[in-house]
Structures are given as C-alpha cells and as structure tokens.
Structure 1
C-alpha cells in the first residue's frame, strides 16, 4: 500500500514541478519557434506515457498486493496485449519523430536570399568572417592558418580579399534577414550555440557544417560552446549582437578586411 502511494506522489510531484517550475528556456530570438513546438509535443507525449505507466504500476501494486491464500496466475504470453503495446508504442514514436523530421527539413533548406557568415571555432575563442562588397566569401584552407592569417584564408583568391575578418570579437547580425551560418573548426570538435536562437550544429575539423537563422529580436546574446573541447571549454564564450540594418552597416564599415589585415602584417 505504501509503495502505491509513493508512486502516485511521484507522478503528482513530477507534474507539479514541470507546471510550476520557474525554469524554462530563454525567450526566442529567431525564426525557430518550430523547434520549441517540437519539444513541447515531445513533452506532452512522454509526459502522458510517464503518468500512465507510473499510475498503472501503482494500481498493480495495490490491486495485486499480497493476501493470505491468494495465488498468482502464470501467463507467459498474451498476444493481444503484445499487439496493443506494440501498436501504441509505434504510434508514440512516430508522433515524436514526425514533427522533428519536418523541422529538420526546414532546418537544412536555406533560403536563396540568405547571407553567408562563417564562424570559426578554436581553443578557446570564436572568430567570424563576413562577405565584403562582392557579397561572397573567398576560399579557405586550415593548413594556411598562421599568426597573420588566423582563419586560413587563401591569399590568392580575389573573392576573399574584401572579406571581413573578426578574430575573437563580437558578431553583429541584422534583424529580420536570413543568415546561412557556415561552421568550421581549426583544431577539435566545437559547437556554436546561442540559446535564444535554438539552432546549433557541431563544428568538425576538416568539414564545413551549417545551419540558418533569421534573427527576430534585437539584443546582445551570449555564445556558448556546446561540445566539450578541452580544459578551457567553460570559458569559450562570445557575443552576438542583433541590431537594425543601419546600425549593422555602420558597424560593418568599421571592421577590418582580409586585405587590410595582410597589409598591416607586412
């Protein structure tokens, strides 16, 4: 009897903690409300299953508690019950996977008018590259990374000479415009993550991964590394500033290009 009461209290306490908890995810600042919706669907499905299973366990503990003279019935198989459990489990898994697949398709389908921005992770800082006046990024090669060329840009590529290079500084983005975020690492695994954007992706050495976002709220947001990358992992922080177009252009004009960087190094 006591065990059944404890199980019921576990259900009541868990649901109350979820409903009344002051801790929730940060306020959304991008177009990815679909990710929030998918998580909420998952919470509902797993929550209902959790409550149903624990309450069923409590009922079984109470209903079939020990009584003098009562003997258990041995039933090794119940095909009807197995079909019901298999079918309900399949429906539950499909209900959780289907929204995720829809959102994933949107996540990897970049709008044609998206501007490319490159983010480079290294132990333990973030660097950024934005297209210059030509509107496109030049090529890069990790083997060309050096003190004078921290992002490993190809010096002979004319398309990259006007690229804006920001080493260990702030990244600014204009509000309301889609951005394709290209992700690159020069050493170990990293993961660029701004909680308010919801979107994130691993940065794998030797690969260029990506995601896209449309910032929907101005403000200053913290950048975190969501992949354990060494002893300085906890200190690998950065800042993204989302601002109006006029302020963004004014900031962009003040940044150094790759050509200016190499000229000053000479």
Structure 2
C-alpha cells in the first residue's frame, strides 16, 4: 500500500502543477514593446517542457505502481534497447529544435536594429543606472572608463568635439518616446551588470571593457521598472530605475531640459583643497555608492546636494535641523535617525577626525547651481562658432569602450 500512496502522490503533484499553471497569478506583465516573438519563444519552451514534465510524471506514477515489489516476481534484465534509445533520441532532438529555432530567430532580430532607430546609451556602475543621448549632431562623443572621475561620471574623452553636446542623465529615471525604435548601447564601469526591463522583454549584459547592444520599440505609454538581472554586489537589490515611455512632445521637452556634457563642465564649482580632499575621502570610503552629490535621488540614501541647512523629516514623524551635529551623528551612528523614505541599510564607517572634517567641508559647498541645458548649450555653441564653421564637421572617429 505504501507504493500505491507514492504513486498517488506523484500523480497529484503532476496534476496540481498543471492546475497551478492555469490559475497562478504569476504571469508576465502586459507587454509594452514590439517583442511578441520573445513571448512566443518563452511559451513554446514552456509548452514543450510542460508536456515532457506531465508525461514523465504520469509514467513515474504508473511505473511505481505497476512494478512494485511482488514476492516471487523478478525483474527482467535488459542491457540495452536500440529501438527505445533511437526513439528517445529522435523525440529529444525534435523537442530541442522546436525550443531553439524560435529563439535563434528572435535573437537575430534582437541584435539587428532598424536603420531609423535612434541611440541611447545605458551606463552602469555599482549600483546605479545612468543614460546618455547624442546631441544635436546625432553622434556620440568618445568615452572610456579610463576617463571616469567624480567630475566626469561617464568617462567622456576630453577635447572631443562630438561629446560637448551629448545629453547626460545622471539619475535612474529616463524618458523615451513611444512608437519609435531605439538602439540601446550598454557599458559598465566596474562589474558585470544586466539591464532588464521586464515589461519591454528587454535584457542584455553590460560587460566591462566592451559595448553590447539590442533594440526595441515601446508601444504603450507607461512607467516601466528597470532592474539589474546580474548579481553585482551587496546593493544589487537596490539597482532599480524607471523608464518612462511618453509622447514625442513630452520627450522633446524633457530632453531639452537635461544637462549636456559642456553644461556639466561649465557648471562645475572649483573646490578648495579641504573640500577636494573630503570628496576624495568620501569616494574612497564608498559613500557615493549610496548617496549622490549632484541632486540625484538614489534609493539607498539622501543626496548630499543642499544637505547643509534646513530641516529634514525622519521616519518617526519628527523633524531635525540639518546642522553639523545632526550630520556628524548620521555619519558615525547611521541608524540613530533615519530620513523618511529610506531604510537603515548604511553601516558605520571608521573615520579619523581629520577625515570627518574634510567630508563636512565638502558637504558645505554642495549647493544647487543650475547647469546648462541642451537648448542653452546649443544656443551658446551657435553664438560662439566662427562664421562658416559647424559642429557637424567630423575631426575624429568617436569610439566607446
């Protein structure tokens, strides 16, 4: 009877799995791009694997029941069965081909963008997404990780005329127009990341030292979640962002309000030696993995921009003056007073009195200074170019990693 129970359990597990598949709430989000072929490929794989699972489950239940131990009955030894092996090989081959062929077709389309696709670069680092659009000339400036520093977060090549009007998005939110194909270029500053927008069905590794790419065409105006699908360190879970698919008018207005590389350089504030030392120490201690110093709102910690002065609301409903005593306490005892909207994830950092004072000196100079937008930068360029010269004249072939 025990054997019969095992057979019944196997049968119920198989049957329950089939029922769960049709009743589960864990389905794909509604697709928001042109990649229906990816969904079809996934469903074909699911159907093939599901059929194999059900058949094997039912056969196991039957075999357990039929071939249970009976006194005086012995199993027949059969060293090989050429016919059975041939049939299983053929069936397995057919199943693999059925699953593989649609994926190869989808992959070929996935990495061959149409000629009218515009370009968007996604630059990843622990644990943040940043974005870059080509400027009015439609050409990306050269960039390389060796140029990356706190004043040049994208690694823009100094002196490259093509990069001056590149539009830089340093926060985790980007907007793109609906019903327009986009070629996404991926770079990584540090480790392997994976840019994933589940509802778009878009996913690709960002590999240090090389540029990877794919394309898609968003077809539904909505906000899409951006995730990292590759374990990339302790704060991997917080490497999230948003992609807003909007109308062309809204996209154009938003894009013109963003800062260019030339504007970012022009808006850079010279630092005193003490403040520069504080910034270097903060970078060395890993502070900028969770906090920004330019107003970007990261999920892990408040920005340092304009942090000095004013008040802040805490998770317990109280407010605090953001004076030196509060900031020092937040650094040395980070769980004592948590800002509303954040969780107590920061660990205590060992700092000497001199290091702490240098960081405070740097925080004090972080005040809002508007940088030039894409429109302002384009106007400045047109006003300062000598007669007859144009920014569209190439002088050097731009490259990335």
SS at match of 1:172: strand
> Where does residue 90 of structure 1 map in the other structure?
93
Query: Superposition RMSD on alpha carbons, in Å?
Result: 1.1
Q: CA deviation at 1:13?
A: 0.6
> Where does residue 183 of structure 1 map in the other structure?
186
Aligned residues: 266
Asked if 1:16 is matched to 2:16, the reply is no
Cα deviation digits, residues 12-71 of structure 1 (max 9, x gap): 111011111111111111111111110100010000011111111111122222223222
CA contact (8 A) 2:194 2:228 kept: yes
Tell me which of 116, 119, 127 is aligned to 1:116: 119
Q: CA deviation at 1:221?
A: 1.5
> Where does residue 226 of structure 1 map in the other structure?
229
> Where does residue 193 of structure 1 map in the other structure?
196
Cα deviation digits, residues 75-123 of structure 1 (max 9, x gap): 1111111111111111111111111111111111111111110010011
> Where does residue 101 of structure 1 map in the other structure?
104
Distance in 2 separating the partners of 1:83 and 1:191: 41
Cα deviation digits, residues 201-252 of structure 1 (max 9, x gap): 1111111111111011111112111111111111111111100001100101
Asked if 1:50 is matched to 2:66, the reply is no
Distance in 2 separating the partners of 1:192 and 1:67: 58
Q: Which runs of 4+ in 1 moved over 3 A?
A: none
Distance in 2 separating the partners of 1:77 and 1:170: 61
CA contact (8 A) 1:116 1:136 kept: no
Tell me which of 167, 192, 215 is aligned to 1:164: 167
Tell me which of 50, 54, 70 is aligned to 1:67: 70
SS at match of 1:242: strand
> Where does residue 313 of structure 2 map in the other structure?
none
Asked if 1:136 is matched to 2:149, the reply is no
Distance in 1 separating the partners of 2:172 and 2:16: 45
Report the TM-score, using the length of structure 1 for normalisation.
Answer: 0.97
Structure with max Cα Rg: 2
Distance in 1 separating the partners of 2:235 and 2:7: 48
SS at match of 1:265: coil
Asked if 1:39 is matched to 2:42, the reply is yes
Distance in 2 separating the partners of 1:260 and 1:62: 76
Cα deviation digits, residues 108-149 of structure 1 (max 9, x gap): 111111111001001111111001111121110111111111
Tell me which of 121, 143, 148 is aligned to 1:145: 148
CA contact (8 A) 2:172 2:240 kept: no
Distance in 2 separating the partners of 1:69 and 1:32: 61
> Where does residue 173 of structure 1 map in the other structure?
176
Asked if 1:27 is matched to 2:17, the reply is no
CA contact (8 A) 2:110 2:214 kept: yes
Asked if 1:154 is matched to 2:154, the reply is no
Distance in 1 separating the partners of 2:31 and 2:139: 29
CA contact (8 A) 2:195 2:203 kept: yes
Distance in 1 separating the partners of 2:103 and 2:6: 37
Asked if 1:241 is matched to 2:244, the reply is yes
Q: CA deviation at 1:169?
A: 4.0
Distance in 2 separating the partners of 1:207 and 1:58: 51
